[in-house]
Amino acid sequence: MTGQPEPTGLEIAVVGMAGRFPGADTVGRFWDNVLDGGERITSFTAEDSIAAGVAPDQARHPDYRHVHGVLDGVEHFDNGLFGYTPRDAALLDPQQRVFLECAWAAMEDAGYAPRAGAGAPVGVYAGASQNAYLLGNLLRTPGALADTSPQELLLATEKDLLAARVSYHLDLRGPSVSVQSSCSSSMVAVHMACQALLAGECEMALAGGVSIHVPQHEGYLYSAGSVFSAGGHCLPFDAGADGTVFGNGVGAVVLKPLADAVADRDTIHAVILGSAVNNDGARRLSFTAPGVDGQVAVVRAAHRVAGVDPRTITYVETHGTGTSLGDPIEFEALTEALGRDGAPCALGTLKAQIGHLSSAAGVAGLIKTALALKHRVLPPSRHFTRPNPEIDLDSGRFRLLTEATPWPEHDGPRRAAVSSFGIGGTNAHMVLEEPPPPPPPSPAGRGHEVLLLSAREDEPLLELATRLREHLAAHPRTALTDVAGTLHSGRTPQRRRAAVTCTDLSSAVDALAAVRAPAADTRDRGVVFMFPGQGSQRVGMGRELYETEGTFRSWIDAADERLDFGLRNLLYAGDREENARTLAHTAYTQPALFAVEHALARLWMELGLTPRAMIGHSLGEYVAATVAGCLDFDDALDLIAARARLMQDRPPGAMLTVGLPVDEVLPALDADTAVAAVNGPALCVVSGPEASVETLEKRLREDGATCRRLRTSHAFHSPMMEAVAGPFASRLRRAVLRPPRIPFVSNLTGDWIRAEEAVDPEYWIRHMLAPVRFHQGVERLLSGPASVLLEVGPGSTLRSLVGRTGDDHVLLGGLPDPERDADGGAYLARTAGRLWEAGAPVDWNRWHPDGWSRVPLPTYPFRRRRHWVEPASGSGPAFAAAAPQTPAATDRQTPAATDAPPPTNTPAAADEPAGSLSGTVLRIWRDLLGTDDIGPDDDFFEFGGHSLLASRIIAKVADATGVGLPGDALYTAPTPRELVALVEERQEPDAGAAAADPELMARLIADIAELSPEEVEQQLREGN
């Protein structure tokens, strides 16, 4: 027996799996069921079948078997996630709904976010069974298809659109192919996905299948010689086997070339070594009968592609239908293709437990086999008692196990095979191998990690936190870096968000228990950097960032090398009190503050947060100008150091904050004092000599004004700095000044700085002497797009000056408040999380520059609602939409999320009178969208509206009102209220309206009076 061959380069890794099967709503539960070997076929009564729509005489027939593999929750669907109206969701084939959810879960299980956009191309290959919902529900129910165009019906029910639908809703941009080969569809889909990967048509592929027959409580009428089991059980290879039982299920796998999966540190569940597909042709008894020659050929072809000795295969997941014809043929083919010699080889089949899943059968067997290889367990076939007399188990290497057994190793990696054969003769066979050893542990990462959770609504967000907490508690050896990295890159951000900061799994579990619903939805927000000025400095500012963040440290080191006073020692070493006294000197304060703020800005930019705009307060504007590209870092630091030394040499002064409007402060000033800053509508800073400021403070306090001295040694932005202007101007003229590449607000004007100002040395002289118009600058920023205003520096002075910002803007800090002395690393992590919660574009890939491993984590709970057309004998619409189902009642471990905001859900009290134009439009919207939960201001597209439905609404409104509307009316008027306004604009005034409006009647009479009789007649002929 040979060991492991050299890699062929054709190996494909299974990196993600998802599925729902009878008795199992997750792959984890499915594996538990496989191990216990129990049957998950549902038995029901004749009354159940009659209630499901089976004719009473048939349901009560003695040969009717009331059994089926039932899949829970097929009536429910998270239409909000995929943007379907309730009406469209009720029309959509439940197979396509369930497969959409399964595809989302599989991508998340692999650690790749659906809707990731223009990343690596991902192919989709999938198959579905016949649309029984169309035949049994939609077409049998009078009124169910009212107001449904043929094109809408085709789009909702055609199984050819299965793969394309997934590609569209998940934004996957590789090949998209629906595969139909009957029972082997999903295995052929996986084979085609592997071929596409090997051909380079895509870099990752999602493949699988779905089969949902409804009504689910519909059995079958047994007849001798049919494929159905007489006893209602599927017993493959057993002497008692007499046919199969069918079931519902869905499964999907995510595939990548093995070399890529290893390089990308993906979790690998199993490796596909090779696969093959063929057809039996005519060499069989009938079109529906299997053929030995075709099965032997496809198995041998797969072995050749895989480059393996068949004797090394020690488990085969068979097609195993349990039929008197099929089992002996399959056993004969396996014996011929795999040989009688070699290590013992176990046979198994899922059909004994969950029934024949038709188009989903192959992928279900693949998932079972991948899990067996991953866990190194040979699964049982507990229903097996004694072999079919036409099957010789004694003289060969094949065996059937009745208990789960550890999978022994035989001179090489464990290998398995999976077969799937379709009615019509299309055969598929696949050779698998156990996954390679896991990658080495991920780098330690940051001391503080951020776990990201998001959902479309609050309930799934809280449920997701619970699931993740339970998962981490159950897997204490999981690396926190891998958990954070997988959540960062492997989940699609939604509008309800929570970010959890932690240092280890224990603190993560505790923090997840404290997750609460957010106060508001996330909005896309740019970032505005705000740089504080002198007075915010402190010894130790940025210490932990210097120790842990390479970007921050490199800029501080660069500043230290250029300055002549030992910046690092001043900030991070030596006696704290002595350093604090030194740092209070302007000559040291300004360069140190500039260096820290600039380093912090570069760190945030390294994390993807390039500011859309900036503002600085006094010294802070130099940081903004440097980040904007007006100054090189070296030039800027030299200028700041020169400016600081010149200011330090000036006589001491004082600065006073006054709680009054600037217009009330100006009359109180004398010749020596000046307004240094306007920080708010009733907040100014006055600057001047110590004695003058003290006198002013006393007088203002006596008048009831609030005053507070600032901790400064000099009177900045006052006449006391005029002597600095000349020497500093000489230094400025040697600097290279450029126009800004990022806009920032000027302290001088309170408006956007102009290019000519930024390059003019005189501007920077005036900047040093004139008042800082910070309040005016903030108003300019707040009048712009929704933003996160991030204070990039120590303390919270600027945030306190900005104050309330309304719903559009969010205030955050970049370094901890000096009074709290908080951990800088923890503060950075918390702020990064809060930035993401607010909608800022944090680049989480840069949070872990040394990489991480993708690990399976709980996927997102769907917020499912019932969307179903019940077969009915009555007339009228039959769409059923019920309250959302809780995850516990539907799916304990499946995903959901959406980018679209939810409907407004305007209460019925806001309804318009039935006979009014508004009432007419609302009625049309509600009928065609399939829900009464629509109010005058609800957006058509937020309810899942699309172009086909828009044209139907426009036509209906036009018919009801007699007013022609343009084809794009709903794009310009997307709410009922706006559409009503558009109709009213296009309505022509009639005589009744004119008579009811005296002013209108007067204008009409005046117009007619100016016309001749001939002109009046001509106007009437033209309809005017």
Rounded CA-CA distance 423/287 in Å is 7
Rounded CA-CA distance 423/68 in Å is 20
The dihedral through the CA atoms of 380, 381, 384, 389 has a sign that is negative
Lookup result for tokens 């907040």: 683
Q: Which residues of 562-576 are buried (b: 16+ CB within 10 A; e: fewer)?
A: ebeeebbebbbeeee
Assess contact for 654 and 694: CB atoms under 8 A.
yes
Residue 754: Cβ-neighbour burial (10 angstroms; 0-12, 13-18, 19+)? middle
Residue 298: Cβ-neighbour burial (10 angstroms; 0-12, 13-18, 19+)? buried
Report residue 300: phi and psi, to 5°. Answer: -65, -35
Of 533, 537, 589, 622, the C-alpha closest to 794 is 537
Residue 57 has a CB neighbour count (10 Å cut-off) of 9
Rounded CA-CA distance 18/269 in Å is 12
Residue 1015 has a CB neighbour count (10 Å cut-off) of 11
Of 208, 129, 124, 127, the C-alpha closest to 170 is 124
Name the token pair of 485: 């990295």
Of 488, 484, 491, the C-alpha closest to 507 is 484
The bridge status of strand 496-502 relative to strand 865-869 is unpaired
Rounded CA-CA distance 456/152 in Å is 27
Assess contact for 442 and 847: CB atoms under 8 A.
no
Name the amino acid, one letter, at 115.
Answer: R
Rounded CA-CA distance 334/91 in Å is 44
Report residue 155: phi and psi, to 5°. Answer: -65, -30
Name the token pair of 915: 């006979």
Question: Helix, strand, coil: what percent of the chain each, to 5?
Answer: 40, 15, 45
Rounded CA-CA distance 667/664 in Å is 6
Name the token pair of 296: 């032997």
DSSP 685-699: EEEE-HHHHHHHHHH
Assess contact for 862 and 464: CB atoms under 8 A.
no
Distances (CA, A) of 412 to 3, 371, 405: 5, 19, 18
Half-sphere exposure (Cβ direction) of 222: Cα atoms closer than 13 Å = 19
Rounded CA-CA distance 60/690 in Å is 104
The bridge status of strand 879-881 relative to strand 865-869 is antiparallel
Name the token pair of 56: 């009473």
Assess contact for 975 and 955: CB atoms under 8 A.
no
Which residues lie closer than 8 Å to 940 by C-beta, 6 or more apart?
A: 925, 950, 953, 970, 974, 975
Residues identified as active-site:
183, 319, 356, 618
